[in-house]
Amino acid sequence: MTTSADLDGFRAEVSDWVQTNFPSALNGFDLGADSPSEKGVSGEFRAWRQALADKGWGTPTWPKEYGGAGLSDPEAKVIRREIAKAGAFNPIPPMTGMGVTMVGPTILEYGTDEQKAKHLPGIASGEVRWCLGLSEPNAGSDLASLSTKAVDEGDAFILNGQKIWTSGAHISQWCGAVVRTDPKAKKRDGISFVMLPMDQKGVETRLIKLISGASPFCETFFNDARADKKDLLGDLNDGWSVVKRLLQHERQSQTSAPAAVKIDQEPLQEQAKRYVGTLQDGTLADPDLRLRIVGNLMDAEAHKLTVSRITAEAKGQVKVSAAASILKNSMTRVAQTKAELTLEMMGNQGIGWEGEQFSDEELRSVRDWLMGKAMSIYGGSAEIQNNIISKNILGLPETTQQG
């Protein structure tokens, strides 16, 4: 058990280490917007990533033998906060795509020893990026209706079909895909989860351009693509169990979006005062806006406390839970409301797309607002989460489908 005194000592150790090792050339580097090569800091970026990887602090709670540090959740939280307080960042999770947040935790739970040794160190070091092949054009949120087929051909499965919204597929080295391995079984019983390399002749990716101007999503086509049988995760035809757990990890990773917990971001109320002005007593000049900002701050705090409670209650349990659905919808509401309030307080400055009359903060807020609309959809739509909550938590009858 980690005591408060232990954490205080660990906090000091982490703070000293970050101050010593974080390259000054990376100060002000925006992990979401800047390119290391374009900023001329590629060497410093690689050195910082490697330093974190050597400590195991990119994935601090993972076992040491797989590239983690074997630390507790409170110790991992200390690392996150001390890195943020120093104005630094942990590049490893975003560099791995879905590796740290979804694939890695699922391999830890369902993978064989051989699979763990093969895949986890590359994720923990930030050197191997993963995408996921889940959604399909004709399946939508009804994931079990997928039609991508995997045929048994000796020591491998041969995949044919199309996936969509495969984030970062064009720059990923590996993909985790749900595929139909038994077309005669009930639709949730004939699915398997396979892992396959993206650098092969049978895999083609095409970017999908979004309204926000960014293009993180792809269509991915499998044309006789090969997945080694040794990379079947979980049991054959039991991929539905694997993917449910994987999606739970996804929802949990989306419950602490930067909009709610970013340490170095100016508080919403201070931002509002700067744009709207204050009364003589220092309070925000617009009383209606003031009330709505208070409501959003209270919702954000309630969400954080609920995350802490559910995390503590779930400690040590490796099973599918519907609690992540509550947190995913809660986080979406907090983040989208905050984005709406931000644009409102900026007034005309909050509707710019380009031009010198807009600050970087204002241009970023517009893009964040647009990107935030996707939160209601990705990782399972808000309606899907509501169905899960109604059925698995409230005990209401099935209203969507049988299977």
In the structure, what pLDDT confidence band is assigned to residue 171 with cuts at 50, 70 and 90?
very high
Instruction: State residue 213's pLDDT score.
Output: 65
In the structure, what pLDDT confidence band is assigned to residue 157 with cuts at 50, 70 and 90?
very high
* Predicted confidence (pLDDT) at residue 246 exceeds the cutoff of 70: yes
Place of tokens 């926000």: 212
Instruction: State residue 290's pLDDT score.
Output: 94
State the average pLDDT over residues 16-33: 87
Q: Please, what's the b/e burial string for 113-148 (b: 16 or more CB within 10 A of its CB; e: otherwise)?
A: eebbeebbbbbbbbbbbbbbbbbbeebeeebbebeb
In the structure, what pLDDT confidence band is assigned to residue 260 with cuts at 50, 70 and 90?
very low
Residue 130 bridge partners (DSSP):
97, 174
Q: Which listed residue (75, 82, 136, 250) is catalytic?
A: 250
Instruction: State residue 378's pLDDT score.
Output: 76
Of 47-56, 154-163, 357-366, the least confident: 357-366
In the structure, what pLDDT confidence band is assigned to residue 257 with cuts at 50, 70 and 90?
very low
250 is catalytic: yes
